Amino acid sequence: GIQVEQSPPDLILQEGANSTLRCNFSDSVNNLQWFHQNPWGQLINLFYIPSGTKQNGRLSATTVATERYSLLYISSSQTTDSGVYFCAVVTDSSYKLIFGSGTRLLVRP
């Protein structure tokens, strides 16, 4: 089956710094989403981005489907950005999201 790998596994930033999270996947996908899991466990939608580039405030994402990777950019990080970021994909006929193992981000004041 498809492999979804996220890097780095852990990231510590000072407030105000920028960061890039990466998601590599081993097969073509129909759906790619980025989520932020809050301390209470809920997965918050960040981007639905099977291809192309999107921006939402301080966050932006790019998926290069032909090269099988996606990047999540966080600019001017804030302490509230702390948490775990997941990338998840859906492949043809799988009917399920396959998650990477996540990037744990800690933003220090």
Smallest separation, CB 97 to other proteins (Å): 6
CB closer to other proteins, 13 vs 88: 88
Smallest separation, CB 50 to other proteins (Å): 8
Smallest separation, CB 95 to other proteins (Å): 4
Between CA 14 and CA 45 the distance in angstroms is: 24
Residues that bind other proteins (CB under 8 A): 30-31, 33, 35, 40-43, 45, 48, 86, 88, 90, 94-99, 101-102
Q: Determine phi and psi for 67, rounding to 5 degrees.
A: -105, 0
Smallest separation, CB 84 to other proteins (Å): 10
Going by their DSSP bridges, the two strands 59-64 and 10-14 should be labelled as unpaired
